[in-house]
């Protein structure tokens, strides 16, 4: 049976991986939009975001996802204390 700190580490790594994968997909989509549609392609009452702004925001999401995925042990240590360092 896994300890709660180990389960939390697995959860943080899974969330980090999902954020990383989704942000990379969104970067690919935004680059395609920027190349194919040079004008803002978003319509409706929402705020118009240029694809390059979207790319910059997704780069921040990639960094956050990578932080969660690769540094889950630090996050677990912050949450559970220094005695639960093995993740």
Neighbours of 70 (CB within 10 A): 12
Neighbours of 30 (CB within 10 A): 20
CA angle, residues 61, 63, 68, in degrees to nearest 5: 95
pLDDT at 45: 46
Q: Would you state the structure tokens that stand for residue 19, as one six-digit string? A: 């954020």
pLDDT at 11: 96
In the chain (87 residues long), the average pLDDT of successive 10-residue segments reads 90 96 92 71 54 87 95 92 63
Q: Would you state the structure tokens that stand for residue 63, as one six-digit string? A: 């960094």
Q: Would you state the structure tokens that stand for residue 54, as one six-digit string? A: 């979207």
């Amino acid at each position: 049976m896994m300890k709660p700190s180990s389960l939390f580490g697995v959860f943080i790594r899974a969330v980090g991986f999902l954020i990383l994968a989704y942000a990379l997909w969104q970067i690919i989509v935004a680059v395609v939009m920027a190349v194919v549609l040079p004008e803002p392609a978003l319509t409706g009452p929402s705020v118009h975001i240029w694809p390059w702004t979207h790319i910059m925001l997704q780069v921040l999401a990639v960094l956050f996802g990578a932080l969660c995925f690769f540094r889950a042990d630090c996050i677990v240590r912050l949450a559970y204390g220094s005695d639960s360092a093995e993740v």
